[in-house]
Homo-oligomer: A and B are copies of this chain.
Amino acid sequence: MTEEHNGLTRRGFLTGMGGLAAGIAVGGLGVPSSMASAGQEPVWPMPYVKLDPEEVRKLGHLGYYEGECCRGAFSAIVGSLQKKVGAPFTAIPINIMAYGTGGVAGWCTLCGAINGASAAISLVSKNYKAIVNELLLWYTQTPFPSDKANALAVNHEYLVDKYKSDKALPPSVPGSPLCHVNVSRWCKEHGYASGSSERSERCARISGDVAAYAVELLNADMDGTFAPTHKFSAEVDGCRTCHKKGKDFDAGMWTRGKMECSDCHDKATAKLVGPDHP
């Protein structure tokens, strides 16, 4: 499948395991050939209604203190839809995304705010791949915490007792969607320890900011006006001339990805790129 593959039919998605079940029946595993016995078919995409990004920003921020970054961003969107729409959203336990905390159980891989917001997007839009791609591009290029998230905290607009800090926190551009990279960058740039209350609060504000922007994209998607606006950096575009998903191993297509190359690779590191790289 190509990187931009999105060819599954809605019916194919709706039936979920239907195709697999039929296939396996042929193979003799003896499972039912349809989901009829379950008496219910999951609704997909679930019926999104437009949400207020500023309400969602607050909910994502607060949601961090209920279950950290990933669950927080997911709860801000899906929890709002549970209240506003009810079923079928009310059948989704918010804890399905609880594992994403700290870049997945503290491994600091994918930023949990991105992970949680992306799951919400995938739940409600057939355009999930393009919207999530745009979310990641925006995230890597935008200073966080946003002025709006900082202002909410400074102005004590709500639930003051939930806050770890009521001061404006200095912003950094994450550069990377990886928790390890962007937490380290922010901490080093501003002199905060990774276990400080300021770092937690920074991630809480980011949970709100990411959920809010996801809602902006979903609202546009619902209006039929969603269009990608963010671009890859010159570096990523340059490296991807050769180092992209493709068929030609000898031309450098033994890798794939969209993250900023220089966050990990450096010409000085023979092991990674090689000093004689053209």
Contacts and interface: CB of A to CB of B under 8 A. Distances in A.
Interface in A27-76: 27-29, 31-32, 35, 37-46, 55, 58-59, 62-63, 66-68, 75
Contacts of A92: 42, 91-92, 96
B246 A195 contact: yes
A266 B159 CA distance: 45
A144 interface: no
Nearest to A3: B106
A108 interface: yes
A29 B92 CA distance: 24
A234 interface: no
A184 B254 contact: yes
Contacts of A191: 249
Interface in A93-119: 93-110, 114-115, 118-119
A207 to B, nearest CB: 12
A37 B89 CA distance: 13
B29 A158 contact: yes
A45 B96 CA distance: 9
A62 B23 contact: yes
A248 B158 CA distance: 31
A133 B192 CA distance: 26
Nearest to A118: B99
A259 interface: yes
Given A96-B96, A196-B249, 14 more contacts: A1-B68, A8-B67, A24-B58, A27-B159, A35-B90, A38-B86, A40-B90, A93-B123, A105-B128, A107-B177, A107-B258, A109-B177, A266-B271, A269-B269
Closest 8 CB pairs of A and B: A27-B158, A91-B91, A108-B257, A17-B79, A44-B93, A264-B264, A187-B254, A42-B93
